Structure 1
Amino acid sequence: MSKAVIKLTDLNKSFSHRAGNNHVLKQINLQVDVGEMVAILGQSGSGKSTLLSILGLLDVADSGCYYLVIMMLSRFQHISSASCGINTLVGFFKISI
């Protein structure tokens, strides 16, 4: 039985601008288990950087749940990456091609 290090359930994120809302992440579900390596791929503007910002605790989702190891993080909690030790638990790399 595997243990989830990261789990996203029904994650949503949008940005407001004059023309309306831009829904970048819609109902995202993801589970990353111990020892797994994951690549996030997609077209320009598809929400890759937004997703990584949420995973790295640099931004918060509008709705949905984010479980990191054994903690549930919600949009109402402002937790710094240093306070929960995310840099020692999970590694993030952003490579532009």
Structure 2
Amino acid sequence: MARSSALGNFLKGDTKALGTVQIMIGVLHVLFGIVMATSGESNGVYLVLFFCGGLIYISSGALSVAANNNLNKCLGLIGVLLVFSILEFIISICVSAFACRAVCGCPQR
């Protein structure tokens, strides 16, 4: 009984739509990384963050969509999605900190 209730709670969240949004955010992240790479003022660390962050968003969104499509295997993917979500959160904070430094013109310590 607990397994079917957990599956019902998982499907109530409309994971396919959320996964699609994560994929689109990842594609935009990679596209902004390409724009940063073509500008002459880009740093290698920023480029790695843009590309790796975008790939993590895309893979997490693909796993969300796959979990919604394959209902039998979706419970096994929740742990993987949790790990990717935590990685996305960490990368988002790092990118926000770098962007804040770039926009504010604060000197690096």
Give the TM-score range, shorter chain.
under 0.3
More strand by share: 1
> Structure 2 length normalisation: TM-score?
0.24
> Structure 1 length normalisation: TM-score?
0.26
Return the index of the structure with the highest Cα Rg: 2
More helix by share: 2
